[in-house]
Structure 1
Amino acid sequence: MRSLLLLLALAWPAAAEVAPDRAAELEHMVTQDCGSCHGLTRKGGLGSPLTPEALAGAEAEGLATIILDGIPETAMPPWRPLLTEEEATWIARYLKQD
């Protein structure tokens, strides 16, 4: 069991890696698409703030799930048709670090 946990811990960072050209596309998506609701500076608008401070208590995995599946009965759409799980996790980590 311990070795399985170690293996998962070592594999986790690689799971959220994307190619540099795709990372640039995802950054643009965050600015344009996410920014259209969350504000171009991500300080909020129709959607809640997406600043590192606002997301400090959130886990990247939970944010990735929200990105992929949206939030029912809100304006937050599901992005699963356009993003992989790795890309959603990359975005979540990007938002928490930026």
Structure 2
Amino acid sequence: MRSIAILLLSSLPASAEIATDRANRLEHIVEQDCGSCHGLTMNGGLGSPLTPTALSATESEGIAEIILEGVPGTAMPRWRPLLSEEDALWIADYLKGRTK
């Protein structure tokens, strides 16, 4: 978790040439941190599946809100202290298969 905080607290410039680096960082977070609970293939584990099929009925904005606020009473933490709304929406779109 500490390495994630360091990565996320570092500045993520918005320029086009840095956008790929930002996407790579967010993809790494999904694979390593989300994958630790939701399964490395996102097919579920401690957390529910995060596959495009499993998320198809949920809007990206709703997924982003869950990422940012967590789910009380579950192991899903709040990521708002570490992720921006833009980052959470990128992750939601990525999980739904819209961003690669």
Measured against aligned partners, the alpha-carbon deviations of 1:18-59 in whole angstroms (never above 9, x if no partner) come to 822111000000000000000000000000000000001000
What is the RMSD computed on CA atoms of the aligned residues?
1.2
Equivalent pairs counted in the alignment come to 81
CA distance in 1, matches of 2:89, 2:41: 20
Alignment correspondent of 2:96: 96
Q: What code does the residue aligned with 2:21 have? A: D
Percent identical across equivalent pairs? 69
The runs of 5 or more residues in structure 1 that have no matched partner are 1-17
Q: Which has the higher contact order (CA 8 A, sep 6+)?
A: 1
The one-letter amino acid of 1:38's match is H
Q: TM-score under structure 2 normalisation?
A: 0.78
| Match of residue 79 from structure 1 | 79
Measure, in 1, the Cα distance between the counterparts of 2:39 and 2:76. Answer: 13
Larger radius of gyration: 1
Aligned positions of 1:1-98 closer than 5 A = 19-97=19-97
CA distance in 2, matches of 1:69, 1:23: 21
Structure 2 alignment gaps of length 5 or more: 1-17
Runs ≥4 residues deviating over 2 A:
none
